[in-house]
Homo-oligomer: A and B are copies of this chain.
Amino acid sequence: MHFTSEQRHDDGVLEREFTLGEIPGILWTPAVTSAPAPLILIGHPPLGLRRMYPRLAARARHYAAEYGFAAATVELPGSGERPLLPGVEQARASLRRALAAGEAVGDEIVDALVLPLVEQAVPEWQAALDACLSLPEVGGPVGFEGGVISIGIRLAVVEPRIAAANLFAGSFVPAAMFEEARRVTVPLQVLLQWDDEGNDRQTALNLFDALGSTEKTLHANMGGHTGVPHFELDAGARFFARHLK
């Protein structure tokens, strides 16, 4: 983990960009840490860290300034300035064609779009987790939130240090991930946009149903795909505060 820049915000939060091998990332830590701060890994859709930065930074700084959490994110494989994943790019083109033509999106497109991303991203997020936890100011337990729900599901299943997850229910979820969802046991909060123009509601509800955790809460809101209400930011923080402290 190599820090490449450092910025102290007026809310006291320290924001540091880093690289982990070839992977860029950002770490936010609270102004004052009497004990190692619990860590939240902030996921995001594969649109590139630069584009996602304002939303990610707003979340991370709320967590750090108001709740004393550390927060970190890394670029997804195939996104931002990282090399493209050719198979995923091809699947993305097929997805766009299907959506533009008003056709159903076939399972083979969803699998090709999501599964390679999960395979490659999850070990990278685990490596980021290792690197962050090696810092004296960051500790466990660890939460994961947002982004590609299949990555969150896989991480929750394979990474025992993930103690809670706040996921965003999409519907482009491979059938294999529905099976994997049954093996999730950590407490979950799941955001669903009820009138999401890009996701199928019933599929998202089925995915929530499939999740194996005995503590799982669905928060469904209006506002379309990108219209998650502002108050869910603090609801997410309070969920983590219940489970990471």
Interface of A with B (CB < 8 Å)? 194, 205, 208-209, 214-222, 229, 231, 234-235, 238, 242
Contacts and interface: CB of A to CB of B under 8 A. Distances in A.
A221 B231 contact: no
Given A205-B205, A231-B242, A219 B218 contact: yes
Contacts of A238: 231, 234-235
Contact of A217 (B205, B214, B219, B242): B219
Contacts of A209: 194
Contacts of A214: 222
A235 B221 CA distance: 15
B222 A220 contact: no
Contacts of A194: 208-209, 216, 218
Contacts of A218: 194, 218-221
Nearest to A221: B217
Contacts of A205: 205
B216 A222 contact: yes
B231 A208 contact: no
A205 B202 CA distance: 11
A87 to B, nearest CB: 36
A194 B217 CA distance: 9
A224 to B, nearest CB: 11
Contacts of A217: 219-221, 229
Contacts of A220: 208, 217-218, 220
A233 B54 CA distance: 32
9 contacts: A194-B208, A194-B216, A208-B220, A214-B222, A216-B221, A216-B222, A217-B229, A218-B219, A231-B242
